[in-house]
A and B are shown apart, each in its own frame.
Chain A
Amino acid sequence: MFNPIELRKPSTLLEAVSDLATYGFDARIIAGNTALYELAAQGGLDDVHILIDSSRLGLDYIRSGTDGRLHVGATTTFSQLAKNKHCLQGRNAALGEAASRISPPQIRNMGTIGGSISIGLPFLDMPVTLLALDAEINVMSKDGRKTIKIDDFFVDYFTTALNPEDLITEIVFPEEDGSSEKKEEERGGNSQRSVGFSAFIKIGRTTVDFAVINCAVCLEIERHESKSKSPLVEKARVALGCVGNKPIRRRDIEALLENSELNRATIESAALLPVDFEPSPSIHASPSYKKKMITVSVREALYTLLDRMNSATPIS
């Protein structure tokens, strides 16, 4: 039975990480408490005696940094994400969309982006989104700071790359305009830069539900002047949740999209690439249904992106 004996309320990051280092497995960070209480009820916290409140650490921010990248503090709630303009447009649109599809509102008001990825549940909406958006996770511990790439972050059910003494401080998203420097070099001095778009699709049974399949796609396309031309995909990240022990990328689809023009034909052939793995069954959906929903959600995400690209003002 979960029987916490102390609630620590650190007001600085240093205090927080020193608490984590002192108590190790005996302690847990508590953020929105929307997952923790359930874990406790299931008997998953029987060894935990100390809770460390993360609400006074000043980690609830969304800002565009001097590096041009978007920085989101770990205790930022879904409600904050769902209404922040940085998370509603361009390359990060999927972030706001995913946040607003998390239901119900009570959970959006309390649940945090940090809690959502730390818990290690492969069917939640943030993990798959962050995977598509190529986010980086900034982590602090008593030993200092480190950055974990999202591709390395999710490990298994209830397991991430975090150590018990690690505190997530923020999640960082690449520049709106893609990771530009390399590309400029590749293009031999051509100053044209790419521009990013993203979309999030969730298929559930009812309006308020966990996903049966969720899918996030981020495409970086060559910036172009005329709308008559189909956008040329430079980089694609296609991520799926609810299919196994962690969110995965569909590298076959990414490969097909990259260096292709995004149009009806590309979208159809990308979506129809056979799903050559068996999605994990659940009491809510069979693998066979999930496979179909993967096709449906990828297709819908790509059409959504094509629409967005076409309605975006071309910048010369």
Chain B
Amino acid sequence: MLTQQKQTVAVGLSIERIDGIPKVTGRALYTRDIKLPHMLYAKIKRSNHPFARIINVNCSKAQELNGVKTFVVGKDFAPMSNEDTPPLARDRVQYLGQAVVAVAADNLQIAERAAELVEIEYEPLPALLEPMLSMSAGSPILSPGLNNFRNVGNYLHIIKGNVNDGFSKADLIIENEFSTVAESQFQMEPLSFLARPDTDGGVTLWATSSGTSKVKYEVSSYLRLDPRKVRVLITFLGGWFGSKEENHLSAVCAALALKSKRPVKLELTRAETMTASGVRHPSIISIKDGISRGGVIIARAIRATYDGGAYGSLGNLMVKNAVMTASNVYSIPNFEVEVYRVYTTRVPGSAKRAPLGFQMAFAIESQMDSVARRLNLDPVDFRLRHVLRNGELNSMGEETIGMSYEVALSKVAKEIGWKASEPPLEYPWKKGKGIALAAKWGYSAPNQASVRVNADGSIDVFAPIIENGQGTYTGILQLVAEEFRIPVEMVNIASLIEGSSSEWGIGTGARASQQMANLGPAVIAACKEAKRSIAHVAASALGVDETDIAVEDGKIYSLSKPSRQMKIKDVFIQGSILLGSPIYVPPHGHGEFRGSSTYLKKIGHFDPKNGQLEDGRASPYYITVAQAIELAVNIETGNVKVMKVAAAMDVGKAINPELVRGQIEGSVMMGLNAALSEELIFSEGSIVNANLADYKLLTSLDTPEILPFILETPYEQGPWGARGAGEASILPTAAAVRNAVYDATGKWINSLPITPEKIVES
């Protein structure tokens, strides 16, 4: 209680990130930096067909090459569910670029040459490159389990009220269709893996992956190994954004190492990474609104079709994301959303920052503006008319708690000068402003952490933290410093040196913006437990009850009689073993003080029949985001210059405000990229622009002024009230751009990206 009222020593302060200097000086360790003695290099042979039966695989020519050590093929792995991408294709390939054979050799050149020499005989099958085609009757079924579902791998349907009733009572019906394209995550670091065979017959893996536990359990099942024999280390990651969800390549690397009995390194090129990481699901989303005479949406029906590509990894989670995005923010009495994730023979749809929700938010927030403008209503006022109030139920029947829609929207509108009249720009530039609002879901999964107290009062933290650039090493460190009320320099994040280990406990890792919300409480609980074990030992020395003891700033003292205190080092065994001097054990001495804890918050599930929430909540919390954008359009060339973005995000509590602002800025830039530029272009199933010259990204020269605003409505269960900060701010950006382009030009562009050509030609 006492500590609650004191000023914080770490939480809420923008302390310098602990990985900053190691990174800018090049000393931070990444998977690619690690080399082991006698290490082999691997290369993957990939399919050059979007859809084909594998007739024969012949490695004999490659085998003859000097320096070639080992091959692995699909049959070397336990068969998986239909959902998952197999590590290597077994009987057939389902997308162009799918991994079929892996080879390990003495060096990369030999491995590359060997991969070229591997001969694969295919019987091509008719490719299914469009989801609509794939869903239509008579299309070949991509996965045996999908017979009854016409290639629909995942489906969710939420109903509230009765939309048909609503439409019949409506005065006006407005229906629009929106579409989005495949994008790459385009993180800086291409995927890399290193596997070392260990003396117990197991393997140690360094993997560019988003979480230690996922790799450990997936690889052990692919390889039919006891999970205890798969140890995973994840070093710094050079960005993630969803690119490192697919762990089948970890299994390939491990299999090569076990088979060759040598360490094996597998490093993907940029182009390979773009295929192996999966892509942002392309989507077609139609929204039909029924509007009353008073200008209120009384019915809304959304039908969203996402191209899931060849496999369904995470498909169930993904469609849920879409539903959670659609069901929040607005209160609409009659509501229905149907989400399809459809298999095609394209690169699998995977995670990218706010997967599936991003597409949904683009569609909904575009629709909100189209409707408002049609009714001659101000888009901000129109939204405010519909937002869910706290306490109200959302479209899934979940209570709205701690959301700040009005505050966030009003804040960004004010900052951008929403209603201000401004002088026009010089020809051919036209100014426009756009706004959008959204809610990002959270996620729940078990996390474990432990801490060790040292005699000098410093703390070592062993937690499976994934640092992909967002700053979580620093954020977790701040929680620990705060819990012991010690300077941040007194906390050692063990992961900083060699990465996080799967052996420190279960960890969800960095995904779904939940690391702080789920690992944070485990860390805090571990600290509390360590303090309890100190109190237990110190109680008799101080002659007070255990519960009367506080551990703070290197001191142990009685809360009721504060003069009774001792130093942390006094509860430790003192002396030196090595120098042979006698070991001095103080009367209350003790060997080690550790605390460890597991945190899991249960969430509810959808009834597969009617899509209603069966129990509890779909998401433990949501994050409010609003953005207002000012831009200029060159009406001759269609070029868009974004000038200003006001971005508000309610993170519950900013453990480190500067890092949160970094997440807002990064999300906004990624959102602008998706809005204006990014698109993976396919031809016959093959990506034709898998390079940075043709896959166009905005650069710092295109970066507008970004004004990040942090809102803090606490989430009760979060550490210090924190929710999450990683993805939410990408949700509103594309729609805000599209709405601003309309404001400038009078043109509605309903498909991403909003390229200069689309603006000129529409």
* Chain A residues packing against B (C-beta within 8 Å): 1, 103-104, 203, 205-210, 212, 283-286, 288-289, 292-293, 296, 300
Number of interface residues of B (CB under 8 A): 24
- A205-B677, A206-B677, A289-B761 are known contacts. Are A283 and B688 too (CB-CB below 8 A)? yes
The count of A-to-B residue pairs whose CB atoms sit within 8 angstroms is 50
Q: Which residues of A contact B697 (CB under 8 A)?
A: 206
Q: What is the CA–CA distance of A1 and B699 in the complex, to the nearest angstrom?
A: 32
A104 contacts which chain B residues (CB < 8 A)? Answer: 699
Inter-chain contact A289/B757, CB cutoff 8 Å: yes
Q: List 26 A-B contacts (CB under 8 A).
A: A1-B109, A1-B112, A104-B699, A203-B637, A203-B639, A203-B756, A205-B639, A205-B677, A205-B756, A206-B677, A206-B697, A207-B698, A208-B699, A208-B701, A208-B702, A209-B696, A283-B694, A285-B757, A286-B757, A286-B761, A289-B757, A289-B760, A289-B761, A292-B760, A296-B637, A300-B636
- Cα–Cα, bound, A283→B682 (Å): 10
Q: Mark B671-710, 1 if CB is under 8 A from A, else 0.
A: 0000011000100000011000110111101100000000
List, in ascending order, chain A residues with CB within 8 A of B63's CB: none
Residues of A within 8 A of B699 (CB): 104, 206-208
Whether B761 contacts A288 by the Cβ 8 Å rule is yes
Is B755 part of the binding interface, using a Cβ–Cβ cutoff of 8 Å?
Answer: yes
A284 close to B761 (CB less than 8 A) = no
Shortest distance in angstroms between B695's beta carbon and chain A's nearest beta carbon?
Answer: 10
Evaluate whether A296 and B636 lie within 8 angstroms (CB atoms) in the complex, with A206-B699, A283-B694, A289-B760 already known.
yes
Residues of B within 8 A of A208 (CB): 699, 701-702
0/1 string, B726-762, CB within 8 A of A gives 1: 0000000000000000000000000000011100110
Distance (whole angstroms) from the CB of A33 to the closest CB of chain B:
16
Q: What is the 8 Å Cβ interface bit string for chain B, positions 104-146, against chain A (1 contact, 0 not)? A: 0000010011000000000000000000000000000000000
9 closest Cβ pairs, A-B complex: A207-B701, A289-B757, A296-B636, A208-B699, A207-B702, A283-B681, A203-B637, A206-B702, A206-B698
A202 to B756, CA, bound (A): 14
Q: CB-CB < 8 A to B702: which residues of A? A: 206-208
Verify A205–B696 contact, CB threshold 8 A: yes
Residues on B with C-beta less than 8 A from A284 are: 694, 696
Given contacts A104-B699, A206-B698, A289-B757, 4 further A-B contacts (CB under 8 A): A103-B701, A205-B756, A283-B681, A283-B688
Task: Return chain B residues, CB-CB under 8 Å to A300.
Answer: 636
| Residues A210 and B693 in contact in the complex (CB < 8 Å), given A203-B637, A205-B677, A205-B756 | yes
**Centre residue among A103, A208, A286 by max chain B CB count within 10 A:** A208
User: How many angstroms from the CA of A216 to the CA of B699 in the assembled complex?
Assistant: 26
Q: Mostly helix, strand, loop or mixed at chain A's interface? A: loop
What residue of chain B has the Cβ atom nearest to residue A103's Cβ?
Answer: B701
Q: Which partner residue on chain A sits nearest B756 by CB separation?
A: A205
**Chain B residues with CB below 8 A from A286, complex form:** 757, 761
Residues of the A chain whose Cβ atoms lie less than 8 Å from the Cβ of B696:
205-206, 209, 284
Closest to A282 in B: B694
Instruction: Give the complex CA separation of A57 and B698 in angstroms.
Output: 38
Q: Within the complex, what minimum Cβ distance (angstroms) separates B299 from chain A?
A: 39
Q: How far is the CA of A49 from the CA of B26 in the complex (A)?
A: 34
A300–B689 CA distance with the chains assembled, in angstroms: 30
Set of chain B residues within 8 Å of A283, measured between Cβ atoms = 681, 688-689, 694
Contacts of A289 in B (CB 8 A): 756-757, 760-761
Closest A residue by C-beta to B761: A289
> Cβ of B113: which chain A residues have Cβ within 8 Å of it?
1
Give the distance in Å from the alpha carbon of A292 to the alpha carbon of B113 in the complex.
47
Task: Report B380 CB to chain A, min CB distance, Å.
Answer: 30
Shortest CB-to-CB span from A254 to chain B, Å, is 23
Distance between B570 CB and nearest chain A CB, rounded to angstroms: 59
Q: How far is it, in angstroms, between the C-alpha of A268 and the C-alpha of B377 when the chains are bound? A: 40
* CA A284 to CA B757, docked complex, whole Å: 9
Query: Which of chain A's residues have a CB closer than 8 A to the CB of B756?
Result: 203, 205, 212, 289
Chain B residues near A205 (CB, 8 Å)?
639, 677, 696, 755-756
Closest chain B CB from A282 CB (angstroms): 9
CB-CB under 8 A from A292, the residues of chain B are 760
Which residues from A are CB-within-8-Å of B637?
203, 293, 296
Residues in B with CB closer than 8 Å to A203 are 637, 639, 756
Contacts of B701 in A (CB 8 A): 103, 206-208
Within 8 A of A (CB), among B627-659: 636-637, 639
How far does the Cβ of B29 sit from chain A's closest Cβ, in whole Å? 27
Complex contacts, A209 vs chain B, CB 8 Å: 696
Q: Once bound together, how far apart are the Cα atoms of A289 and B760, in whole Å?
A: 8
Rounded to whole Å, the gap between the CB of B213 and the closest CB of chain A is 37
Q: A190: shortest Cβ distance to chain B, in Å?
A: 40
